[in-house]
Amino acid sequence: MVLWEYNIKGKYVISASSILDYICCMNRIKSWRTGIPVIILVCNLLLGFSSNSHAQVNPPDFLCVENDTLRWVPEANPCGPFLSFDIYFSDDINGPYTLLSSITDPNAVQYHHNNANSAVNIWYYYIEAVHDCPGEAIIASDTLDNRDPDFPPIDAVTVTGNDVEIFWTPSQAPETSGYIIYKKLANGNFEPIDTVYPGTADYFLDSNADPTVQVEEYTIIAIDECGNTSIFNTLPHSTILLNYTIDPCTQSALLDWNLYQNWAEGVDSHEVWVSIDGATAELAATLSASATNYVYENLNDGLNYCFTVRANRTNSTFSSASNEVCETVSIIQPNRNLNLFSASFTENDDIELIWRWDINAEINNVDINISSDNLSFGNVDAFAPSFPLTLYDTTYVSNHDADLGKRYFQVVTTDDCDSTSISTYAATIHIDGQANSNFLNYLEWTDFDIENGELIEYRLYKKTDVGTTILDVIPAGETSYLDDISNGNIYDANACYYVTALARVSFPDGTIAFVNSRSNTVCLNQFTTIQFPNAFAPDGENNEFKPLVVYPSIIASYEMNIFDRWGQMVFTTNQPERGWDGKIKGNKAKQGIYIYKMRMVQTDGKVDEQKGSLMLVR
Confidence of residue 604 (pLDDT cuts 50, 70, 90): confident
Does the pLDDT of residue 6 top 80, yes or no? no
* Cβ partners under 8 Å of residue 388, min gap 6: 359
One DSSP character per residue, 89-112 reads EESSTT---EEEEEE--TT--EEE
Instruction: Give the phi and the psi of residue 168 in degrees, each rounded to 5.
Output: -145, 165
One DSSP character per residue, 434-450 reads EE-TTSEEEEEEPPP-B
Does 553 or 47 have the greater pLDDT score? 553
User: CA distances (Å), 256 to each of 253, 306, 330, 473, in order?
Assistant: 10, 14, 20, 63
How much is the pLDDT for 592? 95
Does the pLDDT of residue 354 top 80, yes or no? yes
Give the amino acid at 175: E
The number of helix segments (H) and strand segments (E) in the chain equals: 1, 52
Reported as a single tens digit per residue, the pLDDT across 382-397 is: 999 999 999 999 999 9
Beta bridge partners, 418, equal: none
Lowest-pLDDT choice from 93-102, 315-324, 545-554: 545-554
Cα(410)–Cα(119) distance, integer angstroms: 86
Confidence of residue 268 (pLDDT cuts 50, 70, 90): very high
Burial classification of residue 124, based on how many CB atoms lie within 10 Å of its CB (0-12 exposed, 13-18 middle, 19 or more buried): buried
Q: How crowded is residue 544: how many other Cβ atoms within 10 Å of its Cβ?
A: 13
Going by C-alpha positions, the residue among 138, 131, 236 that lies closest to residue 183 is 236
CB 278 within 8 A of CB 321: no
Angle, CA 107 vertex, CA 106 and CA 109 arms, to 5°: 110
Does the pLDDT of residue 127 top 60, yes or no? yes
Going by C-alpha positions, the residue among 325, 215, 212 that lies closest to residue 259 is 215
Does 394 or 526 have the greater pLDDT score? 394
Instruction: Look at strands 110-112 and 282-287 and give their pairing.
Output: unpaired
Q: What percentage of the chain exceeds 70 in pLDDT?
A: 91
How much is the pLDDT for 121? 93
Instruction: Give the phi and the psi of residue 335 in degrees, each rounded to 5.
Output: -90, 85
Going by C-alpha positions, the residue among 268, 274, 241, 271 that lies closest to residue 256 is 241
CB 266 within 8 A of CB 314: yes
Confidence of residue 68 (pLDDT cuts 50, 70, 90): very high
Reported as a single tens digit per residue, the pLDDT across 172-189 is: 888 888 999 999 999 999
Cα(552)–Cα(24) distance, integer angstroms: 139
- In the DSSP assignment, the letter for residue 586 is T
Give the mean pLDDT of 191-202.
84
Does the pLDDT of residue 24 top 60, yes or no? no
Give the alpha-carbon dihedral of 92, 95, 96, 100, to 10 degrees: 70
Going by C-alpha positions, the residue among 111, 90, 94, 115 that lies closest to residue 102 is 111
Peptide bond into 388 cis (omega under 30): yes
Q: How many Cα atoms sit within 13 Å of 543 on the Cβ side?
A: 6
pTM of the model: 0.59
Reported as a single tens digit per residue, the pLDDT across 418-468 is: 999 999 999 999 999 999 878 899 999 999 999 999 999 999 999 998 999
Give the mean pLDDT of 270-280.
98
Lowest-pLDDT choice from 15-24, 105-114, 263-272, 386-395: 15-24
How much is the pLDDT for 199? 67
Cα(388)–Cα(390) distance, integer angstroms: 6
Give the mean pLDDT of 323-351.
94
How much is the pLDDT for 13? 36
Cα(168)–Cα(157) distance, integer angstroms: 9
Confidence of residue 8 (pLDDT cuts 50, 70, 90): very low
Reported as a single tens digit per residue, the pLDDT across 358-388 is: 999 999 999 999 999 999 999 999 999 999 9
Give the amino acid at 18: S
How much is the pLDDT for 200? 64
How much is the pLDDT for 35? 35
Give me the domains of the chain, ranges plus CATH numbers: 2-145 (2.60.40.10), 154-238 (2.60.40.10), 242-328 (2.60.40.10), 333-525 (2.60.40.10), 529-616 (2.60.40)
Beta bridge partners, 42, equal: 3
How much is the pLDDT for 606? 87
How much is the pLDDT for 22? 34
How much is the pLDDT for 36? 32
Does the pLDDT of residue 525 top 80, yes or no? yes
Q: What is the 3 state secondary structure string of 452-483?
A: CEEEEEEEEEEEECCEEEEEEEEECCCCEEEE
Does the pLDDT of residue 47 top 70, yes or no? no
Instruction: Give the phi and the psi of residue 567 in degrees, each rounded to 5.
Output: 90, 10
Angle, CA 29 vertex, CA 178 and CA 81 arms, to 5°: 90
Q: What is the mean pLDDT of the chain?
A: 89
Does the pLDDT of residue 38 top 90, yes or no? no
Give the mean pLDDT of 548-553.
80
Cα(152)–Cα(574) distance, integer angstroms: 122
CB 596 within 8 A of CB 578: no
Cα(536)–Cα(555) distance, integer angstroms: 25
Radius of gyration of the chain, Cα coordinates, nearest whole angstrom:
55
Does the pLDDT of residue 207 top 70, yes or no? yes
Buried b (16+ CB within 10 A) or exposed e, 498-525: bbbbbbebeeeeeeebebebbbbbbebb
How much is the pLDDT for 49? 34
Lowest-pLDDT choice from 20-34, 317-331, 469-483: 20-34
Q: What percentage of the chain exceeds 90 in pLDDT?
A: 76
Give the mean pLDDT of 517-545.
91
Reported as a single tens digit per residue, the pLDDT across 469-481 is: 999 999 999 999 9
Does 22 or 327 have the greater pLDDT score? 327
How much is the pLDDT for 1? 32
How much is the pLDDT for 583? 95
CB 343 within 8 A of CB 297: no
Reported as a single tens digit per residue, the pLDDT across 130-159 is: 999 999 999 999 999 998 888 889 999 999
How much is the pLDDT for 34? 34
